[in-house]
Amino acid sequence: MSNVEQFENVVTEAGARALCIKRGPKGAEWLIIQTPGGLITREVPLRGNLGKDIQDAMTTANQIVAHAKSLTAKPARYLSTGPNPAGPARTH
C-alpha cells in the first residue's frame, strides 16, 4: 500500500476526503483534507515522518468532521421543562 493510500484510508475512516498533496517551495508538502460537501477544508503539513503524518491527518480529519457536524446539526428548539431525572441536586 502506498503512502497516499494510507492517508486516504485514515481520512476516509474519519468521514472526510483526502483531496491532494500540495507541494510548495523548498520541498514543503501539505495534505489537503475536506469534509464531504466541501464545508471545511484544512491543510495538514507533512514533515516526512509517515507515522506522525498519518496521525496528524487522522486527528485533523476527525476534528473537521466533528466541527462540520456541529455546524449542520438541527438547532435545539425545545428545552426540557420537566424535573431532573436524576433528582434535585444535593448539597452537603
Domain ranges of the chain: 3-71
The DSSP code sequence of 2-21 is -HHHHHHHHHHHHT-EEEEE
Q: What is the pLDDT of residues 19-40, one digit of tens each?
A: 999 999 898 999 999 999 899 9
Mean pLDDT on 1-30? 91
10-14: long-range contacts at Cβ-Cβ below 8 A with a sequence spacing of 24 or more? Answer: 10/54, 10/57, 10/58, 10/61, 11/57, 11/58, 11/61, 13/58, 14/58, 14/61, 14/62, 14/65
The structure's pTM equals 0.76
Kindly report the CATH class assigned to 3-71: alpha beta
